[in-house]
Amino acid sequence: MHNNTAKYTELIKSEAKRLGFLSCGISKAVFLEEEAPRLEKWLNKNMNGEMRYMENHFDKRLDPTLLVEGSKSVVSLLLNYYPSELQVEDSYKLSKYAYGNDYHHVIKHKLKSLLYFIQDEIGEVGGRAFVDSAPVLDKAWAAKSGLGWIGKHSNLLTQQVGSFYFIAELIIDLQLDYDTPVTDHCGTCTACIDACPTEAITEPYVVDGSKCISYFTIELKENIPTEFKGQFNDWMFGCDICQDVCPWNRFSKSHNEPLFNPHPELLDMTKKDWKEITEDTFKKVFQKSAVKRTKFSGLERNIKFLKD
C-alpha cells in the first residue's frame, strides 16, 4: 500500500502543476486543534462584524471529516493572481484579485478537473472541492500543508512568491503522504500593522474583520460608519495595503491565467470615470468579475464614501 501512497501523492501534485496551480500541499484530514480556541476567541470578540455566517458550522470549520464523510486528506492548492499591469494612478482602487473573471468559477473548474483526474487514475475516490465557499479554514490548511506560513496580516505568505494567490482545497477519502508546516519568516517586521489605515490588525496575527476596508467595501450591507471617513486611501472594493507593503511580495510574478486578465477598460478608468460610472458600464466592465457581489449600488456607495 505504502508505495501506492507515494505514487498517488506524486501523481496529484504533478497534475495540479499541469492545471496551473502554483503549488500543492497535503495534510491529514483531522480536527484543527490549534485553530479551535483561536477561532472561538475571534468570534467572541465580534471580529467577524456583520459576517454572521462565520459563526455557523463551528465544528465543520474545524473538522473536515464532518464535511466529507470518511475523508483522509486535505489537498491545498494555491493559484497566483498577481496582475502584469495595475490601475492608473489617479483612480479609485480595487483589490487585484478582482481584476479578472470571478475566481470562484475559474478555480472550481480546475478543482473539478483535478478530482476527475484522481478518479480516472486512481479509482473510486470520493471528495469535494472548496473555494472560499464552505466553512473550510483554507489558510490554516495551507499552512499545515507547508505551502507557507500565516503572516502578521493573517494572510498566507510564501518566501518565493509572496501572498497574491487564491487558496482552494479538495477534501478526499484517499490516504496520501502528508507535508509538514514551514517556519514563520515575518521576523520583527511590522510593515503590515503600521500601514493599515483603519488599524484593523489589532496585534500581530490578529485582524479585526469588522475594521477591515475589505469588509466595509464588500461584506457590509448598510452604510459605512462615518468615523472611518478619509481612512480608505481610495480603496473602493477590497484593499491590498497589507499585502502591498509586505517585503515578501517583492517576489510576486504576474500570473499566466488569461481568465484573470482585466476587462480592457478597467485599468484606464480614472476617478472621474468612476464617479460617473453608469450601471451599463458597471455591467460591461464587471460582467464576469467578483465585483458583481457588491452590486452597482454597493460600488456606488463606496465611491460616494470616498469622494464626499
* Domains in the chain with CATH codes: 2-89+96-172 (3.40.109), 191-253+261-307 (no CATH)
Alpha-helical regions (H) of the chain: 2-18, 35-44, 58-62, 103-122, 138-144, 191-195, 213-214, 241-244, 271-275, 279-285, 295-307
Would residue 268 show up in a list of annotated catalytic residues for this protein?
A: no
What the block records as the C-alpha cell of 109 is 473548474
Whole-number Å distance between alpha carbons of 304 and 295 = 14
Binding residues for cob(II)alamin: 61, 132, 156, 167, 214, 239-240
- Full pLDDT tens readout for the chain, 308 residues: 457 999 999 999 999 999 999 999 999 999 888 888 888 888 888 888 887 777 777 888 889 999 899 999 999 999 999 999 999 999 999 999 999 999 999 999 999 999 999 999 999 999 999 997 666 889 999 999 999 999 999 999 999 899 999 999 999 999 999 999 999 999 999 999 999 999 999 999 999 999 999 999 999 999 999 999 999 999 999 999 999 999 999 999 999 999 999 998 999 999 999 999 999 999 999 999 999 988 999 999 999 999 86
Catalytic residue among 63, 90, 120, 132: 132
Binding residues: 61, 132, 156, 167, 186, 189, 192, 196, 212, 214, 221, 239-240, 242, 246
Element (H, E) at 207: strand 206-207
All residues at 6 or more sequence positions from 38 whose CB lies less than 8 Å from its CB, including other chains: none
What the block records as the C-alpha cell of 155 is 494572510
Q: What is the DSSP string of 12-39?
A: HHHHHHHTT-SEEEEEE----TTHHHHH
